[in-house]
């Protein structure tokens, strides 16, 4: 539910600016892939950032997120997640985002009650975002 919410929040961010959604890592539009909620810091080693919106931005699911393991630093043909943050938000905010994700490394254990509360809140926001995005496309 969180991943769907973040994708919709990202779509809204782009729509509000009149820009076609693009991948934070390669800068390309969707193409033949699908969109993912790509994490700057991997959830395997940084589970405390799994549900943190500051750690997640729109990314190609297969090409950049899976095949390039998030494409954090870029390749010969991509700019990478970190450069994508700079291009999108500017150097100062990108540095703040990366620093934030580096220092928030406390182990977190979420209980099922909190997860259920979040799921309800996120589903409500998803419905609102879907309505907003559908209304804007008319």
d(CA 4, CA 53): 12
Contact indicator for 71, 99 with CB cutoff of 8 Å: no
What CA–CA distance (Å, rounded) separates 102 from 32?
Answer: 32
Whose tokens are 């076609």? That residue is: 20
Q: How many CA atoms lie within 13 A of 102 on its CB side?
A: 7
Q: Mean pLDDT, the chain, as a whole number? A: 94
| pTM listed for this prediction | 0.91
**Percentage of the chain modeled with pLDDT above 90:** 84
Tens digit of each residue's pLDDT (9 = 90 or more) over 3-52: 999 999 999 999 999 999 999 999 999 988 999 999 999 988 889 999 99
Bridge partner residues of 36 (DSSP): 59
Per-residue pLDDT at 44: 85
């Amino acid at each position: 539910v969180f991943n769907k919410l973040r994708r919709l929040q990202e779509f809204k961010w782009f729509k509000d600016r009149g820009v076609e959604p693009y991948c934070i890592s390669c800068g390309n539009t969707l193409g033949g892939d699908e969109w993912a909620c790509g994490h700057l810091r991997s959830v395997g080693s940084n589970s405390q950032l799994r549900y943190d919106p500051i750690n997640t931005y729109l990314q190609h699911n297969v090409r950049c997120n899976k095949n390039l393991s998030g494409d954090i630093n870029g390749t010969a043909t991509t700019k990478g997640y970190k450069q994508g943050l700079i291009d999108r938000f500017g150097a100062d905010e990108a540095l703040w985002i990366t620093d934030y994700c580096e220092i928030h490394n406390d182990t977190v254990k979420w209980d099922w009650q909190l997860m259920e509360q979040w799921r309800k809140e996120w589903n409500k926001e998803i419905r609102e975002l879907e309505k907003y995005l559908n209304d804007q496309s008319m």
